[in-house]
Structure 1
Amino acid sequence: MKNYTKEEVLEMCKNFSKNTLMQTLEIEYIDAGPNFLKAKMPVNERVHQPMGLLHGGASVALAESVGSAASIFFIDPEKFEVRGIEISANHLKSKRAGTVYATATLIHKGRTIHLWEIRITDENEELVSLCKLTNMVIPRR
């Protein structure tokens, strides 16, 4: 990531999450490195579907939030913006309570396209969902 320290990345993520879906879902960014960004989200009634399980849409929102945030650190935000253009998710394990962790790992960084793999795991590092996100980098208007 562009000359940012881990602490700077996490602080920026915290700041741009205020008054957004990320804040509503209680997503907290917890780790960052040269080619990854990690966040956590509590699993409770706020993110349940009617059967009392983690809603697949909440998992996808977590995945897209982490992958899109990660792309921001590879661009000049004064000149460019990031847009998620495709996301796919395979939900592999159900979850009723606890915490899930999403780690976005860079697969491809092109000039206009970034491709991320986002692994959502539980407290035991068991895979809950596996997602793939494609972001487009566009000029800022």
Structure 2
Amino acid sequence: MPRDLPSVPLASWGDRSVGPLEWARARGNGALADTMGFEWLEFTDEQCSARMPVAGNTQPVGLFHGGAYVVLGESLGSMHANWHAGPGRLAVGVDINATHTRSATSGYVTGVCTPIHLGRTLMVHEIEVTDDAGHRCSTVRITNLVTDLPPQD
């Protein structure tokens, strides 16, 4: 169980009194995703999407960093899993992999996250990351373990 949890109280993570996009934005992106320019675009029961700028997230040779694709994918997949986990539950990533098939060098990359499996204890999502021209640059898959939240003091 992570020790440094978001400023939003854990008890509210399953709260669905607002729409999914507002819910995700209220929880914040996390310090790393914020630093990398993560920006929510869409969030529904069926999928979610976000983008990140290439500028500032490159390798020394000017290509979008492979680890940045993974940050984008994990941010999307973990939040979508937490939305589906519901009240009193928390989803945490336990496995992630990425296959990079093209390099982005400018503009933005956009990740579209779609669930593959939404189980009670395991959730699997696939994230297709494309460049501004719509070319697939990376495919990320994340598995999240869903647990009950610890009792709140």
Residue type of the alignment partner of 1:97? S
The superposition leaves residues 67-89 of structure 1 with CA deviations (integer Å, 9 ceiling, x where unpaired) of 10111111224x11111010110
Between stretches 8-17 and 113-122, larger displacement belongs to 8-17
- What's the counterpart of residue 132 of structure 2? 123
Task: Report how many residues are paired.
Answer: 137
The superposition leaves residues 35-71 of structure 1 with CA deviations (integer Å, 9 ceiling, x where unpaired) of 2111111110x21111111000011000000010111
Matched, 1:65 2:38: no
The superposition leaves residues 4-30 of structure 1 with CA deviations (integer Å, 9 ceiling, x where unpaired) of 69x822222222225522211111111
* 1:111–1:18 Cα change, 3 Å: closer
CA–CA distance in 2 between the matches of 1:3 and 1:140?
Answer: 13
Q: What's the TM-score once normalised by structure 2's chain length?
A: 0.82
CA contact (8 A) 1:14 1:28 kept: no
Which of 37, 41, 44 is 2:48 aligned to? 37
* Cα root mean square deviation, aligned: 2.0
CA contact (8 A) 2:48 2:112 kept: yes
Q: Percent sequence identity over matched residues? A: 33
Larger Rg, first or second structure (1 or 2)? 2
Structure 2: give runs of 5+ residues left out of the alignment: 1-13
- What's the counterpart of residue 25 of structure 1? 36
How much has 1:125 moved relative to structure 2? 1.2
Structure 1: give runs of 5+ residues left out of the alignment: none
